[in-house]
Amino acid sequence: MSGKFRRNGIVLMCALAALFVSLWAGSAMGDDPVQMSPHKICLNAEGQSDDVQAIVRMWLPSPHLVDFDVKLYFDGTQVAVAESAFYCVIDDNLIIGFDRATLQSNPDVVALGGQEVLATVQGLVTVDGYGVFGFGGSDYVEILKPGKK
Q: Give the span between the Cα atoms of 117 and 60, in whole angstroms.
A: 29
Residues in Cβ contact with 65 at an 8 Å cutoff, skipping those fewer than 6 apart: 85, 86, 87, 125, 126, 127, 128
What is the identity of the amino acid at 135? F
What is the maximum alpha-carbon separation in the chain?
A: 79
The whole-number pLDDT of residue 9 equals 60
The pLDDT of 50-79, averaged and rounded, is: 95
Mean model confidence pLDDT for the chain:
84
- Pick the range with the lowest mean pLDDT from 3-12, 83-92, 118-127: 3-12
pLDDT-derived band at 3 (thresholds 50, 70, 90) equals low
User: Tell me, what amino acid is at 43?
Assistant: L
CB 69, CB 83: distance < 8 Å? no
26 pLDDT tier (thresholds 50, 70, 90): very low
Q: What are phi and psi of 83, to 5 degrees?
A: -105, -20
* pTM, 2 dp: 0.77
Categorize the per-residue pLDDT at 24 as very low, low, confident or very high, splitting at 50, 70 and 90.
very low
Share of the chain above pLDDT 90, in %: 64
Across the range 102-129, mean pLDDT stands at 95
For residues 57 and 10, the model is more confident at 57
Q: 98: how many CB neighbours lie within 10 A of its CB?
A: 22
**What letter represents residue 129's amino acid?**
G
Pick from 99, 142, 98: which is nearest to 121 by CA? Answer: 98
Share of the chain above pLDDT 70, in %: 74
